[in-house]
Structure 1
């Protein structure tokens, strides 16, 4: 889990335990296409749950893929792992997050395929509508560049504040606020801690993966959430790999597995309709219109 650039990301965690796959996908693609190819994926939270389910599907076996999902707890570490080719692919981030990562890192990563969009939402224990915020209300937002900008755009869409006309949707910051009638205090915090501080502030802005892990459904529990349209396409989640491997046919097969009917049913049953399937070419994300 649910729209160029500078990025200051959190401290990475160690990559111990993330060994290179026994059969790298790039090598496998050159060999007998009937052979089973091992693909090692880095993921976390509900995304990891979905991909473990995909790993068990007969469709995955029929595609000649053995999918191994390794659990990570740090976003930067997952991107570093694919950039360094310590794993084949990862599943956790939006396209905007990937672009921001590339702006701040020498080793580049690239999208392989789209997966879903989860609307970002505003959650509050103190008000039922955004119009009810008191003057000086504190709103916590994610402190990583892509999600911080996304949260600010959401607050603008909700009418809480106004951003400058040339606001960057991937690296914009609270410094870009030009109108704030109620003088709300924007408090960037580590995204993973947001649910825990929900009752300590007037509202939190949270991505859906973490919201669901905290028992929240964006469609039912938020007081406002992102519209799902062209304005939010940068927030579509993707599979990512090292730049040199973006056209690997085996990894392309992995991407296609996400859009099988079995996965759609699993996501609907387990995630309450909050992960909206997006089966589009990568050019959908990069097109200017």
Structure 2
């Protein structure tokens, strides 16, 4: 009887341990599933790209489960990220990120890594080269502060103007140090560039707007941005809440974006106008 009793106790102990083991394994599995699901907030073409990435074999192979959420207002998207309603966002340039953090010191974001540069271009129906732009020409420039500053830097790169040495990412035409061709500037809504191209001597157009207007920055512009130190502020990044800057799963998204198959898809879909930029974050400090 004693022997049977201890056998019964042993069987009960084994069953209890097995039950707790299964429960622990299930809880761990559920927890792993929960933590591996990353909500990526985006907008426009970036939203489309991340929907593709979320369904890709590369994401599956890296053990990443991605949910893509669309928020069309940039400020609201950054706030949703800072508050944790979105884990990582993919839509903004480095300069936009800096401006947001400057204005929102209590809910700052952290950059995770670089993605691409969409070149801004100078377009003209009258001239085939920036050298042909005459004295007194009218250049259409965005009334959006960050886009206007970006356009002025591009005009300087093209040799048309010289900017003050302290020119920042929110600089204006008042910061032009030298204007040898006496160029005139006409402010326009930055979404109307393709429509005013025939009414001015040249117009500065961002790539997203150019594509919507059936213009290809690499072939239709007379001058465009290239990946160098003068355009580093315009490189797009992935960002998260400052407290999550060391999250290993979020950092994997940067590597995922730069996978060969993903880049092939982006290049084909956007005609090579989203130029891949795989740089360390220290690149912005050079």
Residue pairs, 1:141-220, within 5 angstroms: 141-168=141-168, 170-220=169-219
Pairing 1:50–2:53 present: no
Q: Label 1:197 to 1:81 Cα distance change in 2 as closer, same or farther (>3 A).
A: farther
Taking the aligned partners of 2:164 and 2:195, their CA distance within structure 1 comes to 31
TM-score of the pair, normalised by structure 1: 0.80
Unaligned runs of 5+ in 2: 1-29
Q: Label 1:143 to 1:58 Cα distance change in 2 as closer, same or farther (>3 A).
A: same
- Cα contact 1:39–1:65 (8 A) shared by 2: yes
TM-score of the pair, normalised by structure 2: 0.81
Match of 1:230 in 2: 229
Pairing 1:40–2:39 present: yes
Pairing 1:128–2:120 present: no
Match of 2:6 in 1: none
- What's the secondary structure of 2:167's corresponding residue? coil
- What's the secondary structure of 2:38's corresponding residue? strand
Match of 1:5 in 2: none
Pairwise CA distance, 1:32: 4.8
Deviations 1:205-227 (Å, cap 9, x if unpaired)? Answer: 12223322322211101010123
- What's the secondary structure of 1:165's corresponding residue? coil
Taking the aligned partners of 1:35 and 1:71, their CA distance within structure 2 comes to 21
Pairwise CA distance, 1:258: 0.3
Deviations 1:188-243 (Å, cap 9, x if unpaired)? Answer: 43333333333333322122233223222111010101232233222221011222
Once the two structures are overlaid, the 10-residue window that deviates more, 61-70 or 244-253, is 61-70
Taking the aligned partners of 1:213 and 1:272, their CA distance within structure 2 comes to 13
Unaligned runs of 5+ in 1: 1-30
Q: Label 1:263 to 1:202 Cα distance change in 2 as closer, same or farther (>3 A).
A: same
Q: Label 1:256 to 1:211 Cα distance change in 2 as closer, same or farther (>3 A).
A: same
Pairing 1:260–2:259 present: yes
- Cα contact 1:191–1:206 (8 A) shared by 2: yes
- What's the secondary structure of 1:192's corresponding residue? coil
Taking the aligned partners of 2:90 and 2:194, their CA distance within structure 1 comes to 22
Taking the aligned partners of 1:207 and 1:171, their CA distance within structure 2 comes to 16
The structure with more radius of gyration: 2
Residue pairs, 1:79-158, within 5 angstroms: 79-106=78-105, 107-158=107-158
Q: Label 1:245 to 1:164 Cα distance change in 2 as closer, same or farther (>3 A).
A: same
- Cα contact 1:35–1:64 (8 A) shared by 2: no
Deviations 1:112-157 (Å, cap 9, x if unpaired)? Answer: 1111122221112232222333443332223333332221110011
